[in-house]
Amino acid sequence: MQIVFNNNRLSIVSQLTLAELLQQQGIAMDAIAVAVDNDIVPRAKIKDFIVQDGMVVDVFTLVAGG
């Protein structure tokens, strides 16, 4: 399967969850937000969200400050 992950094409195995994808890419779950096809995925759903062929996944790092 092919997806776009942070503006890069990526081949993944089927039935991969969003949490597994993030782990494979070395991204810690704290202080991030994830959007799939321009929709934010609630943190509570990341563990069960199945990534499908052709999806666009963007990870955003949260930054505090002023």
In a domain, 34, yes or no: yes
CATH number at residue 22: 3.10.20.30
14-43: average pLDDT: 95
In a domain, 66, yes or no: no
Q: How far is CA 44 from CA 34, 49, 64, in A?
A: 12, 10, 22
Q: Count how many domains the chain has.
A: 1
Q: Residue 59: what pLDDT?
A: 98
Whether the model pTM is above 0.85: yes
Instruction: Report the phi/psi class of residue 26: left, alpha or beta, with left for phi > 0 and alpha for psi in -120 to 50.
Output: left
Q: Residue 64: what pLDDT?
A: 77
**Over 90: is that where the pLDDT of 1 sits?**
yes
Would you say how long the chain is, in residues? Answer: 66
* C-alpha to C-alpha distance for 57 and 5, rounded to whole angstroms: 5
Q: What is the pLDDT of residues 29-65, one digit of tens each?
A: 888 999 999 999 999 999 999 999 999 999 999 787 7
| Structural domain harbouring 44 | 2-61
Q: Residue 33: what pLDDT?
A: 96
Contact 25/5 with Cβ under 8 angstroms? yes
